[in-house]
Structure 1
């Protein structure tokens, strides 16, 4: 259901989306973050895009692992190791279960999210990227198990990602610089959650626009 060529298309779509949302992400990070989140996200996106055709020539598991290793050596701050763990976690899972079904892709996505949780020692409800990623992973697994179409899954995951982002507005923060701001963070969205929402929307839009995913007439 996914190959290295499609993965490369997703990479470029994510880079475009992150660049297009520069103002929003930077504003959120200035409000309650460290102020370097967008810079690190942009650096990571450019580094992965720089791999270019190299990714398309690799087996999917190797392409995902290469992305993880590139992020680990490129992005500063907390984001690098976390996103690197995500892609490496996906790669390890797909090495066991081939990416030939929605259930296997969902399981790999979930494994990547679990890797972030372990690396960051974090969970849902702490005003982080996980408030988007965890519900998306849970819904992805559920929808795949129900046999939903690729199109249906993409539409619903976009909605779940947006709801996850919005949920951070009312949360207190327990991680990073924001954790020291107490109740001042209430009313603000988390920048990491915003980045994840943007990336999930970008990938889902690519899926929705892919002719191979269109339902048969």
Structure 2
């Protein structure tokens, strides 16, 4: 089984929908340990992505073309740290998916490329209370699922579940990167907004895969 361009487009649309549905939650999470703009920024970014997708003169030729559209749009419309981080993640993922279809190893390559992009851009490691704490376990779970013979949908489901667990695990952590690090010990007890949005986006990918 493989995932195609239609899946990638559906992932984008579902991402925009879930970001809209959880906008207030993401704003509140970011207000607690950041500057409160994460939900609004992502909502604006993915709304712009869908608008550009709708305006394309022809259907995208491959999955990477869809993800590159997401990357460039987020970079140009999303402020704060999220724009560059997610933009780099989707851009690296696009380079790993410049094909019409991807199988389970292709899904793993996509997720690992996105993670590498985030780490390269944000210089964060697991345990520092950032979106890496959701992306890293997601990529690891995806690789394990693929190695066990799971199909692409199951690989994405495993990644989504691991991202959820990773996001929840940020609650007791003390932030040492980003704006939340300014709070020091007071950052403990709060869910990282970037990890939460990562979980939401990966869940949308899994749902689009069925």
TM-score by length of 2: 0.91
What secondary structure does 2:140 align onto? helix
Aligned counterparts of 2:104 and 2:170: Cα–Cα separation in 1: 28
What secondary structure does 1:179 align onto? helix
Q: 5+ unaligned residues in a row in structure 2: which ranges?
A: none
Residue 29 of structure 1 deviates from its aligned partner by 0.7
What secondary structure does 1:7 align onto? helix
Residues 1:158 and 1:62: Cα distance change in structure 2 (over 3 Å) = closer
In the alignment, which residue of structure 2 is the partner of 1:65? Answer: 68
In the alignment, which residue of structure 2 is the partner of 1:40? Answer: 41
In the alignment, which residue of structure 2 is the partner of 1:10? Answer: 11
Residue 60 of structure 1 deviates from its aligned partner by 2.1
Residue 151 of structure 1 deviates from its aligned partner by 4.2
Aligned counterparts of 1:65 and 1:119: Cα–Cα separation in 2: 17
Q: Check conservation: 1:93, 1:111, Cα contact below 8 A.
A: yes
Q: 5+ unaligned residues in a row in structure 1: which ranges?
A: 209-217
Aligned counterparts of 2:20 and 2:144: Cα–Cα separation in 1: 31
Residues 1:150 and 1:58: Cα distance change in structure 2 (over 3 Å) = closer
TM-score by length of 1: 0.88
Q: Check conservation: 1:99, 1:105, Cα contact below 8 A.
A: no
What secondary structure does 1:56 align onto? coil
Q: Check conservation: 2:174, 2:188, Cα contact below 8 A.
A: yes
Match of 1:146 among 136, 145, 148: 148
Q: Check conservation: 1:168, 1:189, Cα contact below 8 A.
A: yes
Q: How many aligned residue pairs are there?
A: 207
In the alignment, which residue of structure 2 is the partner of 1:205? Answer: 207
What secondary structure does 1:51 align onto? helix
What secondary structure does 2:128 align onto? coil
Kindly indicate whether residue 180 of structure 2 is the aligned counterpart of residue 181 of structure 1: no
Residues 1:167 and 1:29: Cα distance change in structure 2 (over 3 Å) = same
Residue 99 of structure 1 deviates from its aligned partner by 3.9
Aligned counterparts of 2:25 and 2:65: Cα–Cα separation in 1: 33
Residue 155 of structure 1 deviates from its aligned partner by 3.5
